[in-house]
Amino acid sequence: MIIFGTRPEAIKMIPIIKELNQQAGLQSIIVTTGQHRELVKQMLAKFSIESDIDLDIMAPQQTLTDITTRTLQRLEPVIKEIHPDIVLVHGDTTTTMAASLAAYYQQIPVGHVEAGLRTGDKYSPYPEELNRVIADAISDLYFAPTELSQQNLLREHHQENHIYVTGNTAIDMMKYTLTKNWSHEVFNQLPADKKTDFIDDASA
């Protein structure tokens, strides 16, 4: 079960969804909370992906408390009914924190994509710093984007054999959207062999 609620989460989870859908014997259930409902729906549509379940938590002038409690309340029956083998969450949103907690309450393993980011100040960024700390405290598998993120997790005594340095899935997303004639001033400074490898991967 893949759970997300915001546009940035959708962008970074689409490559994972596409990869999972290519694996024989795996069934992925996509649950969107509705935290950024229309933005997420538009993003998924661009890649011919639909959510299986929309929790529709959006409400006028909602607070962090509203997002947290609605997500917990509406996810509980969904997780109980489907009983997934694992729940995947991304990053540091309130949806991520609440979804991790909802899975934990049902004793479902959690995999955290983009695990291990830290500033060391629970109010900066707010509420993202504490959201990701809580998600990591709950998680069973950690997909860290960098070696620094891995070291942050190790300092917090998470098991090394449960941490995987994967890179940032935003880069994987670029590979779905770039074309051979794409150009950018920073990209153009790369050595020719690096540019060729990247564009070949992107257009594959």
Segment 144-171, tens digit of pLDDT: 999 999 999 999 999 999 999 999 998 8
Low-confidence ranges of the chain (pLDDT < 70): 178-183, 194-204
**pLDDT of amino acid 39:** 82
Q: What angle do CA 17, 19, 20 make, to 5 degrees?
A: 65
**pLDDT of amino acid 202:** 46
**pLDDT of amino acid 181:** 67
**pLDDT of amino acid 10:** 92
Find the farthest-apart pair of alpha carbons in the chain and give their distance in angstroms, rounded.
Answer: 53
Residue 25 burial by CB count (10 A; 0-12/13-18/19+): exposed, middle or buried? exposed
**pLDDT of amino acid 129:** 98
CATH of domain 2-167: 3.40.50.2000
The structure's pTM equals: 0.86
**pLDDT of amino acid 92:** 96
**pLDDT of amino acid 182:** 66
HSE at residue 144, side-chain half, CA atoms within 13 A, is: 22
Domain with CATH 3.40.50.2000 in the chain: 2-167
* 136: CB partners within 8 A, 6+ apart: 112, 115, 116, 142, 153, 156, 158
**Between the CA atoms of 150, 156, 160 and 161, what dihedral angle is there, to the nearest 10 degrees?**
-110
